[in-house]
Structure 1
Amino acid sequence: MKKHLYFLLIAALIFQMSAKSQTIDRNYVNKIKEFTTDERFLPKSLLDVVDHPTIPNPLKHFGHIIGAEGHVHRSEEIFNYYKKLAETSPMVKIQQMGVSEEGRPFYIVVIADENTISELDYFKNQTALLSDPRITSQEQAEKIVLESKPIYYVSGGMHATEMGSPEMLMELAYRLITSPAQEIKKIRENVITVINPVMEPDGWDKQVDWYYRYTKGRENFEDGFPRSTPYWGKYVFHDNNRDGLQVSQQITKSIFKAFFEFHPTVMLDLHESVPLLYISTGTGPYNDYVDPITQSEWQVMGNHDVSAVAAQGMPGAFTWAFYDGWWPGYGIWVANNHNSNGRFYETYGNAGADTYLRDLSTARFAGDLATSKEWYRPDPATPQVYWSFRNNINYTQVGVIASLSYAADNAQLLLSNFYKKAYNSLEKGRKEGPKAFTIAKEQRDPAMAAYLANQLVSQGIEVYENESHYVALTEQPYRNLLVSLMTPTAYPKDAKFPPYDAIAWTLPNLYGVEVKAKDSLDFNVSGLKALDYPVKYLGKVIGQGNTYLLTYKAQNSVLPALYAFKSQNRNTELSILPKTIVVDGDTLPAGSILIKKINADQATKIALDFGLDLKAGGSEISTSDQKSIQLPRVAIYHTWYNTQDEGWSRYTFEERGIPYTSIDKDVLKSGNLRSKFDVILLPRVRGNAKNFIHGVDKKFGPMPYTKTAQFPSHGFPASTNDMTGGPGFLGIENLRKFVEEGGLLITLDNTSSIIAEMGIASELSPVSAGSLFHPGSIVMAKARKSGSPILYGFPESFNLFRGNGPLLQTDKFNRDLMLVQYGFQPLKDEVPYEGPILGLKEKELTAKAEKKDEKNPPYVVSGMVRNEQEIVGHGAVFNVPLGKGSILAFTFDPLHRYLNHHDAPMVWNALINWDKLR
């Protein structure tokens, strides 16, 4: 140990001696000036890059400066630079935080003065103590605050086309460990800076290859050429910043791992979308469960950073007018949800390292022109700017340094606030209701009850169990998040600006799990056992034999279990019971499954693996009371211009263990679809029928998306020799033939509108509802044809999740095509007429029928809908026959972001019964 400290001391002395003798790297500084397009975009504070004798700056390492025209770096090159810094400086530590879906590492880089880095575990333990007031008293916290340092987490590269931050962070890291400037020295000594250099390396490498393959050197930014690679991560695209509730993607898991290891006081996420630098506070309304201290910190830090940028004469920095502050599912909201402070920047980016003349003249945020002088934007940019990659680097770096400087100057305040927020949450649990949430283990879908418990644990929430329930007590530091996740939201109807994303996230409703909020603890708390491992519902098998019954209640795991049965034993026979039936005294609802020709061991394995209860019996059920199940060959379609939601669909199918084939435009054009597939799923996709038919403009073709030695990240998760064009009219006609020949086409959300527009589902027409405003909310729906196989396992009324999707309807004579409607009231043309009828004699009524004053539940369960009368009564799900097949059209997305698991069984029902919907 003494020897280790000795070498650390020697290294520190050598570093200090070299630091005193270092000079400015004039070549680097001149290059910064060369690539910055205007003196007002050139902060003097960045013109002091040193020429360190032993630590290489980016120019020495790469041969060009950060922000040089035409240069970006792949993730391995970026990580290698940080490894070089760690080798040559005692102030840098790099550690791996996981592995991406494609096998690339996630890293974080920790920077502070030498003494702090040598005692990093001590400082991490200090912030962990501050995170839990149950183990740290207020008196102890005051002492810890004096002895601790704020941990400031800065991340870049979440969205692949936002290419400035991963490059900038390398220069910032070098500056933090070498600069002699007093402000930087203060940051080194008083703040622990944690850098996530490339949050999403899979997408980043694809985008870097895309830039070098296609967009480098293009003359006009607005030429219509796609600036983004078609895929980022293996599954999700831009929604990798919408996974904070699901924690399903590896990027999110790495962020959560870093948070719970370091308990950072502030987390700052760097993005690019608006001119010239937006510093988040949001217009509101703010999330009800974010502590007022955090909301106030947003304002103080936002204004501090804007003023720091303005102090260097740089125009275009603003706050307030972008984003709201409501939805808790962003990656960086792991901080806001856990008593820390989550913030973000948006700079102006060119999706690469080229310089363009950009037009800001029509851009508006919160109703104001982006070039207008406002209280929140004291120095606006001109309507046009000549914008370079280096300009972007300058703005982001100046802002981040300003924010780190604020943390250095206000270290004790930030740490004290961090503790105080946890204390406030704990006190609310002690003094306010509810006192606990209980989740019965016996549910309609008990596997989802266990899933809910696990999801809470993944959020750092403490969950317990006894024999019958999972229990979350609210007297804990993350009480606010627990209550937020488990209770309905109420977004203000009079909010001045539209929400930035979905506005409802009540997990029990999204999962279809019954939860009770307890205002008093009427059970034995001492008998609870803490969950420190993922729990799983283990299905039971009653009896023995070679025939078993599965009582169907729309459990999510039934369809994958059926595939597993056939995989284990190809001779297994599967049948569905289309009507309610009583067998051995048990009432089996419609949709229940009869499994024949399996042994007890196979039944037990499936029950355990999939959380399903099986009972031996059913051999006496007549053939007329059952229909054979033919498990379908499923295809999931993807375009080459928008892969967001098909990625979520693929992820959902793979997580559930449902086999599928991914297909694109070329498969549709090749025809003979019915010989290859039984079901084709069209996930939600942006745009209209024109976009769907024609795809990426052919004038840009051919555009291969193939893996090559030069572009090794391309060609995954799909490959093509030419991305341009779509299925064309031939492909659309082949899709029609597929249905006519007996296939099932399932369309989700916007693709339902598209197939109606293309005439494949000609019975469906768009509904004009201009005053309807329906951001992502949980609402009530009513079964119109409860006997449909699509609704097996669902009650007469149930909730579903719907956003601002299309609204479709049929003519009145075709209303039997509507399986589910929104809300409970009928459409106006379905209300019976009760007035006089000319030409008919008035009949004498002996007894006037009594009108029932039925009170239906409210339409909105969680969230908010304006002018809901525009949607109530309209169709949520349609079953449209075509030839020998059917089109199942959803006007919402039942596979939304791997969140609304309660809605997904309607899709699984469709796959189980794909050939029985006529």
Structure 2
Amino acid sequence: MKIKNIILAALALSFWNSDIHAQNISTPKSHFGFSIGDDYQLANYRQMESYFLKVAKESNRVLIQEAGITEEGRKQYLLVISSPENLANVEKYRKISQSLGRAEGLTDQEARKLAGEGKPIVWIDGGMHSNEMVGSHQLIETFYLLASSQSAEIQNYLDKVVVLMWHVNPDGQDLLADWYMQYPDANKRNMSIPRLYQKYVGHDNNRDFYMFNMKEASNLAKVMYIDWLPQIVYNHHQTSPAGTVVAGPPYRDPFNYAYDPLLVTGIDGVGFAMINRLNEENKPGYARMDQSTFSTWWNGGLRTAPYFHNMIGILTETTGNPTPSEIKLVPERLIPRNGLPNPITPQKWHFRQSIDYSVSMNMGILDYAARNGDKLLYNFYKMGRNSIERGNADYWTASPKYIEAMKEAYEADTKAKKETEESSSKSKFASIPSVYFESVLRRPENRDPRVYILSADQADFGTAIKFVNALIKSGVYAYQATADFQHNGKRYPKNSLIVKANQAFRPQVIDMFEAQDHPHDTQYEGGPPIRPYDAAGWTLAMQMGVDYDRFYEDVEGPFQKLPYGEMILAEKNVLPNSKGGYLINAKANDAFWVVNQLLSNGTKVYRDQGSKDFYVDAAMRDRLQKAISNSGLRVQVATKKPTKLTALKPLKIGLFDHYGGSMPSGWTRWILEQYGFEYTCFYPQDIDNGAIDKYDMLLFIGQGIPDRNDKVTKFRQPDTNLVPEEYRYLLGQVSKEKSIPALKNYVEKGGKILTVGASSELVYHFDLPVTDPLVVEGKDGRSNPLSSAEYYIPTSILQASLDVSLAENYGLDPNINIVFNNSPVFKLENKQDLYAIGSFQTEKPLLSGWAHGQQYLKGGSIGLVALLGKGKLFAFGPEITNRAQSHGTFKLLFNQLYN
């Protein structure tokens, strides 16, 4: 389905009158009834929306455009702010930014000319994490300042810069602000909301910016990567390190080697402008570099994803809350250092101070852009041009594995006395002979790929289309074959997809197809690892399980270049008549959506125990045709009805959640809805009072079961007296004393439980003959987890082997890519009532990311099935539903959801 075109078509200037000179702009206080930053006062999104619309009519500096609908149906707007003269020509400046960002067909001379004619585009957002109200409320104050101020400084910024403002999460703003303001007594106001503040994903809304599952993420991507291409993206957040006010750029290592060097130094330049502005205004407490936890390695966040698009992404975390707080005393942070040049003393802190800091940093960025506009625009082009040139030629990216390979080759030769050490130094930066640069790093097989082909005849081409559509949403362009073609002796059918690396957003292309090689980042040599900011490895093509071929030279063929931003639609299927019925390809995830549509209207669907595909009788042709109409799903005509058929029956599914909301559970809700599974959520109290008996299967995704050594789970529990009666059914913990026996009784009576990740602790509560291979016996005789210095695998992609003869694994391949985050692993002996579904077969299962001590995984099972009484327990260690990105393992969930 094509995304609605939200380009500001000619940007008709209907909301302003250029003849107005003395404008009367409504103040925030006149509209909201309080000053922005007043203690104990919050505005909801409804109020913000009406204010933005009002000021857009009052001010000749503002354009406002509807830019999409949220998951809960609210409107998102793009606010465009600049001088009236710039707004009259804003389409020109938007197109210049597009042209320079895509860097296609321009000479350096033409790019410099455009950079001189253009205006830098600066993006400022807020409101992503709705309990971080500094971010949303600084939008109001900054918007008013830019729309109304007559100061020479502001007018200079507006003359030289085009500002884009964006509220990231309208739904959560209404939820949080209404919740907080419902208490008449200001001292009782709190943010302990009962559910996630963005439907399905909560805080993980900042983990969706290469996948774009959520409508809000897709809306943003259309504006940022297709329509406008800003040079600076400023993403406001809240909560700084203890003893500081702000954490901001420059950030700590490691930065991702996929970036252009101009990107990294560009971040530094903007960061220095921000901290200088605060210091000029006597606003201390800005932490950076080693005093901040934020790095530039990871893709997927609103601030970090722009890096892979040559955009300077800025994140700040600013302390503050509408309820007054304090800057705590951290003695080590009282002495100035490079990471904290201007420490702040302990003190009471008010919401208004946080707003002031945020506005100052906005002004620091606008000042930088106003002074360096032509450089920002030209360097944007230069980075894109560099990417195109790298994609057009042989290019080698240095990453940690190649550095280690060079050193190992030199050490081996030295040991064999083939070389003499050039330096006696044993320091970390000792030199070695230059010959190892060419002989290791510049080997032909170590080149970066230039072309990727995703064949249309792969088993799950529908998921391959979803993958390429995610690339297209991010501004990457792709090709589709208009006829069959051959390359290097291999035939590719019509509709195959081709992605080339010779484009401006090459870093995004490489990052989505190739493995991340995370540096071995430790506190000291041989010491504990330093936790990555988020994931260490995430390669989307691997997560989604799509098949693709790499080529190291250009590939030509009957290729049609797809328009920027337009989604690929699956080819329509027309079913022929059949006397033997139809087999639906069970290797395709979309098969489960089709099956569920058929089951919901009373159609009988079977699983063929021979092919493992789904089967529908010939008489159901019209219903099947309707169900597959736009799916592109492969359906095979059966010559005769299979003899080994098992009828499918949808289960009554209960999905565990708790007060405040579980993000893994929320992502699973979204997955189930996308594929047509019906479910209901249940909560801790339902386990204890027997309400779970109405379900055929219970899903525990992520946290939901106490740790084996704990008595209860550790879900945040607010003061019950502050929770309205209608939400109290959500409260409670899962206990070892009462809940675990209830769950075991549920299974023994015939129920099924499926656990993923941390909830797989249920295996040990049920006293199954299973051991943990990542636990060792200490000198005191007690079992202890391996230390992080021995074993540490933050979110990365590993490869495991499956027993595909098992019904649990139908439709999957023997080797599977799994998302692993220090996940549970099991050791068991296969028995009739207890068996493994797959395991790690090698000492090096890592595909993408970082896996320190991965050899400990060999022989460990990634999941198991236990038969208990009349029921079953399915336990999966890895993140098989990871943020609704790991399509390659969805079938490990889906297969179990039928009777």
Interval containing the TM-score (normalised by the shorter chain): 0.7 to 0.9
Q: Tell me, what secondary structure is at the counterpart of 1:423?
A: helix
Q: 1:441, 1:144 → 2: CA distance?
A: 40
Q: In the TM superposition, what are the counterparts of 1:574-723 in structure 2 within 5 Å?
A: 574-577=606-609, 581=610, 588=611, 591-596=612-617, 598-617=619-638, 619=640, 621-622=642-643, 625-671=644-690, 673-674=692-693, 676-685=694-703, 688-689=706-707, 693=713, 695-697=715-717, 700-701=720-721, 703-704=723-724, 706=726, 720-723=727-730
1:749 has 2:757 as partner = yes
CA distance in 1, matches of 2:245, 2:715: 32
Report the counterpart of residue 45 of structure 1 in structure 2: none
Number of the residue aligned with 2:863? 877
CA contact (8 A) 2:13 2:63 kept: no
Equivalent pair of 1:822/1:875 in contact (CA under 8 Å): yes
1:824 aligns with one of 842, 856, 861: 842
SS in 2 for 1:284: strand
Shift, 1:602, TM fit: 2.8
Instruction: State the SS of the aligned residue for 1:667.
Output: helix
Which residue is equivalent to 1:238?
203
Call closer, same or farther: CA 1:603–1:181 in 2, change over 3 Å: closer
Q: Distance in 1 between matches of 2:15 and 2:816?
A: 68
**Deviation of the 1:242 alpha carbon:** 0.4
Q: Distance in 2 between matches of 1:6 and 1:776?
A: 47
Residue 257 of structure 1 deviates from its aligned partner by: 2.0
Structure 1 residues 185-220: Cα deviation after superposition (integer angstroms, max 9, x where no partner): 321211111111x3101111111122224697448x
Q: 1:439 to 1:9 in 2, by over 3 A?
A: closer
Q: What letter corresponds to residue 815 of structure 2 in structure 1? A: S
Q: Deviations over 1:312-365 (max 9, x none)?
A: 222111222321111111123443222221111110123xx1212353538xxx
Q: Structure 1 residues 760 and 562 mapped into 2: Cα distance closer, same or farther (>3 Å)? A: farther
Please report how far the alpha carbon of residue 893 of structure 1 lies from its aligned counterpart in structure 2 after TM superposition: 1.4
Partner of 2:160: 190
Asked if 1:262 is matched to 2:269, the reply is no
- Please give the secondary structure, in 1, of the residue aligned with 2:865: strand
CA–CA distance in structure 1, aligned partners of residues 854 and 168 of structure 2? 40
Contact 1:695 1:724 in 2 (8 A): no
Is 2:786 the counterpart of 1:769?
Answer: yes
Corresponding residue to 2:746 among 716, 738, 746:
738
Q: Contact 1:256–1:334 at 8 Å: present in 2 too? A: no
The amino acid that maps onto 2:695 is: F
Please point out which of 368, 371, 396 is paired with 1:406.
368
Evaluate the alpha carbon distance shift between residue 740 and residue 538 of structure 1 in structure 2; reply closer, same or farther with a 3 A threshold: farther
In structure 2, C-alpha distance between the alignment counterparts of 1:80 and 1:530, rounded to whole Å = 35
Q: CA deviation at 1:807?
A: 4.0
Match of 1:297 in 2: 266
Q: Counterpart of 2:62?
A: 92
- 3-state DSSP class of the match of 1:431? coil
Which structure 2 residues correspond to residues 408-487 of structure 1 after superposition, within 5 A? Answer: 408-432=370-394, 433-466=448-481, 467=483, 468=493, 469-487=496-514
Deviation at 1:405, TM superposition (A): 0.8
CA spacing shift, 1:693–1:428, aligned 2, 3 Å:
closer
- Deviation of 1:740 (Å): 1.1
Give the TM-score normalised by the residue count of structure 2. Answer: 0.83
1:528-552: CA deviation from partner (whole Å, max 9, x where unpaired): 6768442215457465026333454
Quote how far apart the aligned CAs of 1:102 are: 1.0
Separation in structure 2 between the aligned mates of residue 6 and residue 230 of structure 1, nearest angstrom: 38
Judging changes above 3 Å, is the alpha-carbon distance between structure 1 residues 686 and 167 closer, same or farther for their aligned structure 2 residues? Answer: farther
Pairs within 5 Å for 1:228-627: 228-259=193-224, 260-274=226-240, 275-320=244-289, 321-350=292-321, 353-361=322-330, 369-382=332-345, 384-432=346-394, 433-466=448-481, 467=483, 468=493, 469-494=496-521, 497-524=530-557, 532-538=566-572, 541=575, 544-545=578-579, 547-553=581-587, 555-570=588-603, 572-577=604-609, 581=610, 588=611, 591-596=612-617, 598-617=619-638, 619=640, 621-622=642-643, 625-627=644-646
Q: Deviations over 1:853-873 (max 9, x none)?
A: xxxxx4111111001122232
| Structure 2 residues without counterparts, runs of 5 or longer | 1-9, 395-447, 484-492, 524-529, 776-784
Q: Per-residue deviation at 1:903?
A: 1.0
Give percent identity, aligned residues only. 22
Amino acid at match of 1:780: Q
Structure 1 or 2, whichever has the larger Rg, is 1
Distance 2:830 2:617 in 1: 43
Matched residue of 2:306: which SS? helix
Structure 2 residue matching 1:103: 3-state secondary structure: coil
The residue type equivalent to 2:535 in the other structure is: A
CA deviation map 1:216-266 (0-9, x unaligned): 7448x9xxx864553211111111000011111122122112212222111
1:28 match: none
Q: Which runs of 5+ in 1 are unaligned?
A: 16-53, 363-368, 582-587, 707-719, 826-857
State how far apart, in whole Å, the 2-side matches of 1:527 and 1:155 are. 36
Distance (whole Å) between structure 2 residues aligned to residue 203 and residue 760 of structure 1 = 41
Deviation digits for residues 69-88 of structure 1, max 9, x if unmatched? 11110111112222222222
Q: CA deviation at 1:890?
A: 0.9
| Superposed displacement of residue 620, structure 1 | 5.5
Greater shift in the superposed pair: 806-815 or 649-658: 806-815
**Cα separation, 2, equivalents of 1:672 and 1:170:** 46
1:731 Cα deviation after fit:
4.4
For residues 577-617 of structure 1, what are the alpha-carbon distances to aligned partners after superposition, in whole Å with 9 as ceiling and x for unaligned? 0xxx4xxxxxx3xx333333633323333444444333333
Alignment of 1:806-817 (within 5 A): 806-810=824-828, 817=835
- Say if 1:515 and 1:621 are closer, same or farther in 2 by CA, change over 3 A: closer
Give CA deviations for 1:138-180 in whole Å, capped at 9, x if unaligned.
2222111111111111000100111012212222222223334
The aligned amino acid for 2:30 is K
The equivalent residue for 2:818 is 800
Contact 1:542–1:614, Cα closer than 8 Å, also in 2: no
Matches for 1:130-209 after TM superposition, within 5 Å: 130-196=100-166, 198-209=167-178
Alpha-carbon distance, 1:373 to partner: 2.7
Aligned residues: 796
Q: Distance in 1 between matches of 2:553 and 2:616?
A: 45
Q: 2:131, 2:191 within 8 Å by CA — same for their partners in 1? A: no
TM-score (norm 1): 0.81
Letter in 1 for 2:256: N
CA distance in 1, matches of 2:41, 2:886: 42
Residues 216, 341 of structure 1: alpha-carbon distance in 2 compared, 3 angstrom cutoff = farther
The two structures, once aligned, show a CA RMSD in angstroms of 2.9
Farther off after superposition, 773-782 or 124-133: 124-133
**Would the alpha carbon gap of residues 126 and 620 (structure 1) be closer, same or farther in structure 2, given more than 3 Å must change?**
closer
Secondary structure of residue in 1 paired with 2:254: coil
Q: Given residue 703 of structure 1, which amino acid in structure 2 is its aligned partner?
A: V
Cα displacement (A) at 1:399: 1.3
Whole-angstrom distance in 1 between the partners of 2:593 and 2:184: 42
Instruction: State the shift of 1:727 in Å.
Output: 5.2
Q: 2:719 & 2:132 partners in 1: Cα distance?
A: 26
